Chain A
Amino acid sequence: MNDVTHQRNVLRTIAVVGNPNTGKSTLFNNLTGLQQKTANYPGVTVEKHTGKLLLEDEETTLIDLPGAYSLAAYSPDEMVCADILLGRIENAGPPDAVMVVIDATNLRRNLFMATQIIELGLPVVVALAMNDLAEKKGILIDPDRLGEKLGVKVIPIIPGESKSTNELKKSLISLLKENVTQREYLVPEVREAALKIYKKLPNDQNQTNVFDFERAIIDAGGAAEKRLLEQKLINLDQLEAIRLNLTQASTSVAALEARARYKWIDNVVNYSQTRKEINSGFTDLIERVTSHSLFGSLLFLTIMATVFQAVFAWASPMMDLIDGATASLSTIVSAYLPEGALSSLITDGIIAGVGSVIIFLPQILILFAFIIFLEDSGYMARAAFLMDPLMRACGLSGQSFIPMLSSFACAVPGIMATRVIPSRRDRFATMIAAPFMTCSARLPVYALLIAAFIPNETVFGIFNMQGLTLFGLYMLGIFGGIFTALMMKRFALKGPTPSFLIEIPPYRLPNIKSMVIKLIDRAKIFIRRAGTVIFTVAVVIWGLVYFPRPEVLINEFEAERTEIINSSSLEENQINSMIAAIDDAESAALMEQSYLGRAGKLIQPVFSPLGWDWKITAGVIASFPAREVVIAVLGTIYSVGADADETDSRLLTRLKSAQDSNGQPVFNTGMAVGLMIFFAFCLQCMATVAVMRRETNGWKWPIAAWFYMTGLGYFGALLANQLI
């Protein structure tokens, strides 16, 4: 066997399966450490986690399968588990061994899927996790007796302790050498019916398994049935006849399966488990306090306020540091490279572009540190429970709350956090609604426009007009998101309301090592995936701003500078300020001549109903990769330099006094409000688009979201400009 493996030059694989909340991922992280890879399975939105595990001298690949309660599948996402176990994904072949992780505190329910997996006939070892916690609760399980009934080895482990996994590794080593013994089928009538059809098939059906026919018979309307019907290996009449024959129309085949398995399981549990009555006072107390309607809600608000504050405020020193580091890197590079296209490409294009991605990293790390902690401790399910009534009114579900809240800081970690939502429909609705929340990149744009065009007056005695406008913009985002989520569920994501069947796991102390590994994984995904897209777009935008640089224009400004430097009547500080003014004017002139400037002029008619001139248009175009860029672009166009920020008084003055060719002011209140609405709605963030692509595993949703949000922004701005 070993020789064959080496000849193929492919590592042997071990699949890790189990219910959610069993400590499965902690065990996986403990066994593989940082030797992990995360990718997406083709065609579905399920993440593929693989890692390396050394068994004696042999390196093996561990695959962490998504947590599930059953092998029954009604969607391609749910089908992933079975497809991996049967070796149908990426032609990898079935795993060489399967490790089923079960939770000792909850043996009965965990054995349901375990029996389904054992029946597949692959070499199986069962890792009995949480046995220590079970003992504390008075549940004593005899692993040998349990293994005897299951027909496989059962090894007690503590998922987070390396020492406790030695026995498990030993049994994996022997498992890879053994042959599988005959397995008992717990629902024999379904197995026989499936075999009958399977045997009649032509011999070349290597992608199909008896298991598919079993599932097709049991899961009426499920993924296996759909696949076999598409492959024309069976027809619906045939299936219905088999089901009728099995149930005599008195029940469903699914009920038949569940009853048979649980009948068997209840006997096995009685045989291998004994219970003592023990009062676990402390965890009960925590449980009672945190789920108390008053204290629980207060605790929830405190936790959420801390998360929000952390993502918003704690991240900013680190973000400033990254900002400073990219700026100094640019300075160093430009000092060593001769002035010109190459230097500008590296500093203004690559360093600035990559910097604009890395700057989100502190927020992502902080948010995910909280999310992973809340998940692993068991609090997340309780938070979802608490928020479900409110979020359901918005067309979402309890699990959408944290993604939506974190989107107020940044939609990128918010969208990444939607992974905790099990229902695909709710997950997609949350992802499309999340970018409407007022993120931290919108704030400087709002601040600039409000300071320039909204009078700083008191209204209704107590409210400040500027503050009220900012509040209104936040509300606009929230209602835009709710409206979108409701519309999505009404039209785009039809189907039955997803269930809210979630296990509320007992509180547990998270394992630090496992938390750190998960955090690093999130950071790597973000940098790799989002980084590549942003990098490309940053270089493209740089090219649009930098080229074509007409020689004549540059020479004119150079002549002006030479004249000033050579004039003897001026003092040095006068010369410096005049040179600076010429530099800014040169940048503005080059910007007007650049492809971006030309594009602004070309496209401007589209935006003229919104009251925009070519300068605003060019600024908005340039800000599609990252909305806050608009300030720097406007700074360049209005000749105050690209390092202008939202508090720059010169930029404020120039915006206020800008005139069109007829001498009319460009900015009026309606147009400025419209521009703010545009920025509130429009999806001007390449990082969000890139993350959405990854999380939905395709371009369809991000492209649809982009057109939808841009369209909404356009009409909002149009209405404001025409009506105000």
Chain B
Amino acid sequence: MTLDQLKPGQSAVISKIAESGPLAQRLMALGLLEGTDVQMLRRALFGGDPLEIDVMGYALSLRQSEASQITVIDTQDSYQSS
């Protein structure tokens, strides 16, 4: 699944960033790499775009189109236990 499909509160681990080029580079500079833990915090009103995620302890907002470039693996189990 991709990052934009997470529900608020749901956690995941990044497995791949599809886009190459400036956007991917910016995401990586901000600490979004393969293996990074992320959590969906909330979505904007009226359609849920942009969205806000937690990246290793800080909050980052990004557009749906940007989040859809990031493939994640759901870590539902760790979310429930925490």
Q: Quote the shortest CB–CB distance from B4 to chain A (angstroms).
A: 13
- The one of B28, B30, B31, B49 that contacts A255, using a Cβ cutoff of 8 Å: B28
A389, B44: Cβ atoms closer than 8 Å:
yes
Query: Is A182 an interface position by the 8 A CB rule?
Result: no
Centre residue among B24, B34, B61, B65 by max chain A CB count within 10 A: B61
Query: A40 in the interface, Cβ–Cβ < 8 Å?
Result: no
Contact with A along B1-23 (1 / 0, CB 8 A): 00000000000000001001111
> A79 to nearest B CB, angstroms?
14
- Number of A-B pairs, beta carbon distance below 8 Å: 111
Q: Count of chain B residues with Cβ under 8 Å from any Cβ of A?
A: 35
Given A109-B56, A385-B52, A388-B50, check contact A501 B20 (CB 8 Å).
no
In angstroms, Cα B27 to Cα A105, docked, is 19
Main secondary structure of the interface of B (DSSP, over half): mixed
Between B31, B65, B66, the greatest number of chain A beta carbons within 10 A of the residue's beta carbon is seen for B31
Does the CB pair A72–B29 fall under 8 Å? yes
- The reply to whether B45 and A109 form a contact with Cβ atoms under 8 Å apart is no
A525-558 toward B: CB 8 Å interface, digit per residue (1/0)?
A: 0000000000000000000000000000000000
In Å, the complex CA distance between A390 and B50 comes to: 11
Asked whether A105 and B60 contact (CB < 8 A) given A69-B30, A72-B25, A386-B44, the answer is no
For chain A, the bracket of interface size reads 35 or more
Q: In chain B, what residue has the closest Cβ to A219?
A: B25
- Residues of B whose CB lies within 8 Å of any CB of A are 17, 20-31, 33-34, 41-42, 44-47, 49-50, 52, 55-63, 65-66
Find out whether the CB atom of A381 lies under 8 angstroms from the CB atom of B45: no
Chain A 494-509, CB-CB to B under 8 Å as 1, else 0, gives: 0001011111111000
Rounded to whole Å, the gap between the CB of B82 and the closest CB of chain A is 11
Q: Shortest CB–CB separation between residue A286 and chain B, in angstroms?
A: 13
Contacts of A497 in B (CB 8 A): 63, 65
Does B22 contact A500, Cβ atoms closer than 8 Å?
no
Name the distance in Å between A113's Cβ and chain B's nearest Cβ: 8
CA of A219 to CA of B71, assembled, Å:
23
Residues of chain A having any CB pair with chain B under 8 Å: 69-70, 72, 74, 105-106, 108-109, 112-113, 219-222, 252, 254-255, 258-259, 262, 291, 293, 297, 381, 384-386, 388-390, 398, 497, 499-506
| Residues of the A chain whose Cβ atoms lie less than 8 Å from the Cβ of B56 | 108-109
Chain B residues with CB under 8 Å of A389's CB are: 44-47, 49-50
* Beta-carbon contact of B29 and A258 below 8 Å: yes
Q: Are A255 and B58 in contact (CB under 8 A)?
A: no
**Nearest B residue to A220, CB-CB:** B21
A291 surroundings in chain B (CB, below 8 A): 41-42, 52
Contact, CB under 8 Å: A499 / B62: yes
Given contacts A500-B66, A503-B60, contact A70 B45 (CB under 8 A): no
Rounded to whole angstroms, the CA-CA distance of A222 and B58 in the bound complex is 27
Complex formed: what's the CA distance from A601 to B34 in Å? 72
Contacting residue for A504 out of B26, B49, B60, CB 8 A? B60
Among B27, B33, B34, B42, which residue has its beta carbon within 8 angstroms of that of A501?
B27
**What is the CA–CA distance of A389 and B47 in the complex, to the nearest angstrom?**
8
Provide the bound-state CA to CA distance between A106 and B61, in Å. Answer: 16
B25, A502: Cβ atoms closer than 8 Å: no
Cβ-defined contact, B22 with A221, below 8 A? yes
Distance (whole angstroms) from the CB of A195 to the closest CB of chain B: 22
- Is there contact, CB below 8 Å, between A108 and B31? yes
Structural contact, A109 and B20, CB atoms closer than 8 A: no
Roughly how many angstroms separate A386 CA and B52 CA in the complex, as a whole number?
A: 11
User: B29 contacts which of A69, A252, A505 (Cβ < 8 Å)?
Assistant: A69
Determine whether the beta carbon of A500 is less than 8 Å from that of B63: yes
Closest chain B CB from A101 CB (angstroms): 16
Given A254-B28, A503-B30, 5 more pairs with CB closer than 8 A: A220-B21, A388-B44, A389-B50, A503-B58, A503-B61
Bound-complex Cα distance A207 to B73 (A): 46
Q: Report the minimum CB–CB distance from A287 to chain B (whole Å).
A: 9
**A398: chain B residues within 8 A (beta carbon):** 50
Cβ contact within 8 Å between A499 and B61: no
